[in-house]
Chains A and B, each alone.
Chain A
Amino acid sequence: MKLLQVFLTDTHWAIILVLLPLAAAVLCFLFSRVASFIGVTTLFALLLSVVGLGWQMRETGVYHHAIGGWEAPLGIGLYADGLSLLMLAITALVGLGISIYATSYFKHQDAARFWPLWLLLLASLNALYLSADIFNLYITLELVGLAAVALASLTGGPDALAGAMRYLLTTLLGSLAYLLGVALLYHGYGSVDIAILATQAKSEPVLWVAFGLMGTGLALKMALVPLHFWLPATHANASAPVSALLSALVIKGAFYILLRLWLEIFAPHSGGAETLFGLLGSVAVIWGSLQALRQTRLKLLIAYSTVAQLGYLFIAFPLATIAGATVWIAVAYLALSHALAKAAMFLAAGNLIRFGGHDRIADLDRVVQRLPLTAGAFALAGVSIIGLPPSGGFVGKWLLLESALSQGRWDLVMVILLGSLLAAAYVFKVLGRTFTKAPVSHEAHAVPARMEWVALLLACGAILLGFLAPLIIPLMDIGNPFTISGGQP
């Protein structure tokens, strides 16, 4: 028992979280015949490592480690607090689901291409959540972007390739803007370490310009309206597991950086940027939802729903200037729930496409009877996306609503409620059609049970989050990630 405790507290789980998927990616590339096996095993190991890290952090607080004893700027520092832990956990959990799904979805050549890229993406994402300096964040951001683009292009065909190409150009542009911001910050304060920058930052032009560049670059990667032009086509034309991981995980990486930088460095010197974020977020919620409602193809509907749901994350910025931690907890909660629910939705859509050979909403043709698990997955995920109780989405939206009301921000109250109603409209537009018979029946193909169950379990996870707030919120708060540091507000 004691040995186990020592093992749990002394192992460098964080390093494993980065190196293991990297090594597994190489192995998958070399031994492509057993790639699926390696991949799923790795994901299980990652999940256990996150649990280990969580255990460690519950005992000793935040995790900090300088690899090889070299601190930033030359070395690489690893840092994990409650926010990082939660992001790592959701990545591992949703990643495991997507991986199990992928074992049935991809065969032969496709699998050989998918696994190395996917594991590389996971390694980069984990490194992103563990980075302690803004330059390493750039590197990981770029790696995530490149791996994601390669994954998006896997399906081949003009639509997917064009989507991937557009995504690549966008993501590179975003990274370069971010890097220019890094250069300015380094010039201004002589460091790339987030903690040092937090203490040095002052309200002055170099900081504002740097934030403008970094914020724009990250907003581009997160498809914040009006920079969302690339997202629907890319997410809708990729294969189902890839759509799921793009919408659920990759976007969250960029958001994590933005949130981290905001909390640590920029919030006290924002110069009103939160108002702009709030405005754009509101537009994203309404406009994205309306677009989703207009779609006739399921995957495009889900992709626009992502645009809308990301808007909620930005609505929090103006609220947080007064309400602080509560709002950020709401945001983190929304991000977690969205990751689970959106992955479930895209995987469910993948099942429907496999089943009927199309994703036209009007022709869903009684799938509620023929693929009940998939229909159930879509419905439960939809409940969380709408924000109906009991679900993770409800917890997040309730906390947001509460803050907006207590601050008298009626504009945001209306946006939050209207966004939920529109989400209900587009989710039930799909669900209603799952009960009816299509005018012309299509030939149906069998869907492996594993693919149905994964989608359903992820959706159940999003619902379950609604009950777990008392457990998860204290974990999030390890190291007080949501307390604004860096000088006086």
Chain B
Amino acid sequence: MSNISFALAGIGLFVLGLYALIVHDHLLRKILAINIMGSGVSLVLVALAKHGGDALPDVVPHAMVITGIVVAVSATAVALVLMVKLATETGRAMLPDDSTE
């Protein structure tokens, strides 16, 4: 049963991250929010790994999580570089307001 609670916690993190991504203006917070969402997804993957009655945990989701972490690290790196560039160009680490044009 604890697996389910981990999975729920993972989903909680995902939702929390999504909320933060939307409401915060500062890009660093947005990037952190994305990372928290990523951790949430990883948690869900691992928590739901064991299914059926096997004693051994399924390794596949673990492999996925590891891959996912690698992806997340590189994505974060790209995001940070972009943020720094944007900050040097505009002096603010934020996206411009007019999102429609």
**Quick one: given A135-B64, A183-B61, are A165 and B86 in contact (CB under 8 Å)?**
yes
A158 within 8 A of B: yes
Q: Which residue of A lies closest to B77 (CB)?
A: A146
Q: What's the Cα separation between A52 and B49 when bound, in Å?
A: 40
Residue A125, interface by CB 8 Å: no
CB distance from B89 to the nearest CB of A (A): 5
Which secondary structure dominates where chain A touches chain B?
helix
Given contacts A158-B89, A176-B38, A229-B99, contact A168 B79 (CB under 8 A): yes
Q: Are A179 and B21 CB-contacts (below 8 A) given A162-B95, A165-B86, A168-B82?
A: no
Contact between chains at A164 and B34 (CB < 8 Å): no
Given the complex of chains A and B, what is the CA–CA distance between A74 and B58 in angstroms?
11
Q: How many Å lie between the Cα of A168 and that of B52 in the bound state?
A: 38
B51 and A179: CB pair below 8 A? Answer: no
The residues of B that contact A169 with a CB separation of less than 8 Å are: 21, 30-31, 34, 79
User: Smallest Cβ distance from A174 to chain B, in angstroms?
Assistant: 11
Contacts A162-B86, A166-B95, A186-B61 known; A173 to B21 CB distance under 8 Å?
A: yes
What residue in chain B is nearest A236 (Cβ atoms)?
B101
User: Which residues of the other chain, A, contact B60 by a CB distance below 8 angstroms?
Assistant: 73-74, 186, 192
Would B63 and A74 count as touching, CB distance under 8 A? Answer: yes
Return chain A residues, CB-CB under 8 Å to B59: 74
Q: Which residue of A lies closest to B31 (CB)?
A: A169
Tell me if B96 counts as interface (CB < 8 A to partner A).
yes
**Distance in Å from the Cβ of B69 to the closest Cβ of chain A?**
12
Q: Are A176 and B86 interface neighbours, CB within 8 A?
A: no
By a CB distance below 8 angstroms, the chain A residues around B89 are 156-158, 161
Asked whether, in the complex, the Cβ of B75 is within 8 Å of the Cβ of A142, the reply is yes
Binary interface encoding of chain B residues 80-101 relative to chain A, with 1 for a CB under 8 A from any of its CBs, else 0: 0011011001100001100111
Task: Give chain A nearest CB distance to B90 CB in angstroms.
Answer: 5
B78 adjacent to chain A (CB < 8 Å):
yes
Nearest A residue to B78 via CB reads A146
For residues 49 through 73 of chain B, which have their beta carbon under 8 Å from a beta carbon of chain A?
51-52, 59-61, 63-64, 67-68, 71
Q: How many residues of A contact B (CB 8 A)?
A: 35
Q: Is the beta-carbon distance between A142 and B71 smaller than 8 angstroms?
A: yes
A253 in contact (CB, < 8 A): no
Q: Are B67 and A233 in contact, CB atoms less than 8 angstroms apart?
A: no
Least CB distance from B43 to A in Å reads 9
How far is it, in angstroms, between the C-alpha of A179 and the C-alpha of B68 when the chains are bound?
Answer: 9
Q: How far is the CA of A173 from the CA of B30 in the complex (A)?
A: 11
Complex Cα–Cα for A186 and B51 (A): 10
Tell me if B45 counts as interface (CB < 8 A to partner A): yes
Task: Tell which of B51, B63, B75 has the most Cβ of chain A within 10 Å.
Answer: B75
Partner of B101, one of A73, A139, A180, A232: A232
How distant is B97 from chain A, measured CB to nearest CB, in Å?
Answer: 10
**CA A142 – CA B63 in complex, angstroms?**
17
A190 sits at the interface (CB 8 A): yes
Complex Cα spacing A187 to B8, Å: 14
The answer to whether A161 and B86 touch across the interface, beta carbons within 8 angstroms, is yes
Report the separation of the CA atoms of residues A139 and B45 in the bound assembly, to the nearest whole angstrom: 15
In the complex, which residues 10-54 of chain B have their Cβ closer than 8 Å to any Cβ of chain A?
A: 11, 14, 18, 21, 27, 30-31, 34, 37-38, 40-41, 44-45, 48, 51-52
How far apart sit A229 and B98, CA to CA, in the bound complex (Å)? 10
Instruction: Judge whether B14 and A180 touch: CB under 8 Å.
Output: yes
Asked if B14 contacts A176 (CB within 8 A), the reply is yes
B64 touches A172 (CB 8 A): no
Cα separation A336 to B89 with both chains bound (whole Å): 38
* Contact B41 A165, beta carbon cutoff 8 Å: no
B101's closest neighbor in chain A, by CB?
A: A233
Give, as a whole number of angstroms, the nearest-CB distance from B26 to chain A: 12
> A150 an interface residue at 8 Å Cβ cutoff?
yes
Nearest chain-A residue to B99 (Cβ)? A229
In angstroms, Cα B14 to Cα A6, docked, is 52
Set of chain B residues within 8 Å of A91, measured between Cβ atoms: none
Interface residues of B, Cβ cutoff 8 Å to A: 11, 14, 18, 21, 27, 30-31, 34, 37-38, 40-41, 44-45, 48, 51-52, 59-61, 63-64, 67-68, 71, 74-75, 78-79, 82-83, 85-86, 89-90, 95-96, 99-101
A-B contact pairs, 20 of them (CB 8 A): A73-B60, A73-B63, A135-B64, A139-B71, A146-B74, A158-B90, A161-B85, A161-B90, A162-B86, A165-B82, A165-B86, A168-B78, A176-B34, A179-B41, A179-B68, A183-B41, A184-B48, A192-B60, A233-B101, A300-B101
Q: Which residues of A contact B (CB under 8 A)?
A: 73-74, 135, 139, 142, 146, 149-150, 153, 156-158, 161-162, 164-166, 168-169, 172-173, 176, 179-180, 182-184, 186-187, 190, 192, 229, 232-233, 300
> Sorted from nearest, which 7 A-B pairs have the closest CB atoms?
A187-B48, A161-B86, A183-B45, A73-B60, A158-B89, A183-B44, A158-B90
**Known contacts A165-B86, A232-B100; can you find 15 more A-B pairs with CB under 8 A?**
A142-B71, A142-B75, A158-B89, A161-B82, A161-B89, A162-B90, A165-B82, A172-B34, A173-B37, A176-B34, A180-B14, A180-B41, A186-B48, A186-B61, A186-B64
